[in-house]
Amino acid sequence: MSGLVFMNGNLVPKAEATVSVYDHGFLYGDGIFEGIRVYNGRIFRLRDHLYRLYESAHSIMLTIDYTLDEMEKAVIETVKANGLRDAYIRLVISRGPGDLGLNPKNCEKSQVVIIVDHISLYPAEVYTEGITVITVPTRRNLTDALDPKIKSLNYLNNILARIEAERAGVMEALMLNNQGYVSEGTADNVFIMRRGVLKTPPAHMGILEGITRELVMDLARESGIAVKEVPLTRHDFYVADECFLTGTAAELMPVIGVDGRQVGNGKPGPVTGNLIDAYRELTRTEGEPVL
Ligand code: PXG
């Protein structure tokens, strides 16, 4: 059952799911992607991911040969074909094969790829014990160069930041923007709790507008916690009562140390714990099962 990849309309076995070396996604990182989860047979927040995908496409002037509704059907079809009730979906759209020049005018057909595979989860203790992070030298993309709101195939600066973190012996990096404000992790958004208020950097700080981020702000507000989108410096993280990362892959991950400073009492905080529980409940129960 599993191992079938959607390639421009065809479901092909994993080993045959290949793209051209002339694809501008490969040559130049010219394309966009989404990472989506399947929980308990349900595709979590698929519509939100598709809206963001089509916004990214519009922003980089990439034509997708499928309407949003058609793409939704294609994703569901690929999930069903793979028969995985808990899975990771990687939706990739590249400018398609062209020639060796930068100009995409010869890229006649964009390449749509939908991969549904097992997800490699973070170890369970990460959620009960938390992780430590560091800020790294590699900055997040400038908003007026390549806006981080675009989920493009250009992840090199995030990859460099992740390598810098790994070499320093921690699992994740906090990236700063060009002004030195904290923007986000390499594949996750960041939050702090301080004196009863939940804070996260606003979108104009140069971040991906994470779907988990939005959801977590809603969950917090519903439980009566004040939420503020405000610029945050490294100091704000050092003196936070609680800190956590949010993302499709990371879910809600407690952070207990930043740049060698202990955050709060050095243990995942109570608000973080409650939000993790609420998030997990939602992922298992929201929406209709597709298999
Ligand atoms: N910031 C960045 C830079 C991201 O790439 C997030 C924040 C969180 O956004 P969501 O919408 O997921 O809450 C991301 C998400 C992967 C992978 O396989 C990466 C992401 C999502 C899923 C999988 O590396 N990035």
The pLDDT tens digits of the residues spanning 177-204 come to 999 999 999 999 999 999 999 999 999 9
DSSP string, the chain: ---EEEETTEEEEGGG----TTBHHHHH--EEEEEEEEETTEETTHHHHHHHHHHHHHHTT---SS-HHHHHHHHHHHHHHHT-SSEEEEEEEE--B--SSS-GGG--S-EEEEEEE---PPPTHHHHH-EEEEE-SSPPPPTTTS-TTS-BS--HHHHHHHHHHHHTT-SEEEEE-TTS-EEEESSSEEEEEETTEEEE--GGGT----HHHHHHHHHHHHTT-EEEE----HHHHHT-SEEEEEETTTEEEEEEEETTEEPTTSS--HHHHHHHHHHHHHHHHSS----
Atom 4 of ligand 1, residue of closest alpha carbon = 187
Confidence at residue 120, expressed as pLDDT on a 0 to 100 scale: 86
Q: Say whether domain 4-117 belongs to CATH 3.40.718.10.
A: no
Average pLDDT of the chain is 97
Confidence at residue 93, expressed as pLDDT on a 0 to 100 scale: 98
Q: Indicate whether 1 pLDDT > 60.
A: no
- CATH 3.20.10.10 residue ranges of the chain are 126-285
The residue-averaged pLDDT of 131-138 equals: 98
Phi, psi of 113 (to 5 degrees): -125, 130
Q: Indicate whether 274 pLDDT > 90.
A: yes
Atom 22 of ligand 1, residue of closest alpha carbon = 35
The CATH code for residues 126-285 is 3.20.10.10
- CATH 3.30.470.10 residue ranges of the chain are 4-117
- CA–centroid distance, residue 54 to ligand 1 (Å): 16
Whether the CB of 248 sits within 6 Å of ligand 1: yes
Report yes or no on whether pTM surpasses 0.95. yes
Atom 23 of ligand 1, residue of closest alpha carbon = 35
Q: How confident is the model at residue 123 (pLDDT cuts 50, 70, 90)?
A: very high
Whether the CB of 212 sits within 6 Å of ligand 1: yes
Whether the CB of 250 sits within 6 Å of ligand 1: no
- CA–centroid distance, residue 251 to ligand 1 (Å): 10
Q: How confident is the model at residue 2 (pLDDT cuts 50, 70, 90)?
A: confident
Atom 5 of ligand 1, residue of closest alpha carbon = 187
- CA–centroid distance, residue 216 to ligand 1 (Å): 14
- Let me know: does 214 contact 220? Beta carbons within 8 Å: no
- CA–centroid distance, residue 188 to ligand 1 (Å): 5
- CA–centroid distance, residue 289 to ligand 1 (Å): 23
For 44-73, write each residue's pLDDT tens digit: 999 999 999 999 999 999 999 999 999 999
Residues whose CB falls within 8 Å of the CB of residue 237, separated by 6 or more in sequence, listed in order? 174, 182, 190, 192, 243, 258, 259, 261, 263
The residue-averaged pLDDT of 249-262 equals: 98
Which atom number of ligand 1 is nearest to the Cα of residue 212?
13
Q: Catalytic residue, from 14, 151, 228, 267: name it.
A: 151
Which atom number of ligand 1 is nearest to the Cα of residue 140?
3
Whether the CB of 208 sits within 6 Å of ligand 1: yes
Annotation says 149 is catalytic: no
Whether the CB of 247 sits within 6 Å of ligand 1: yes
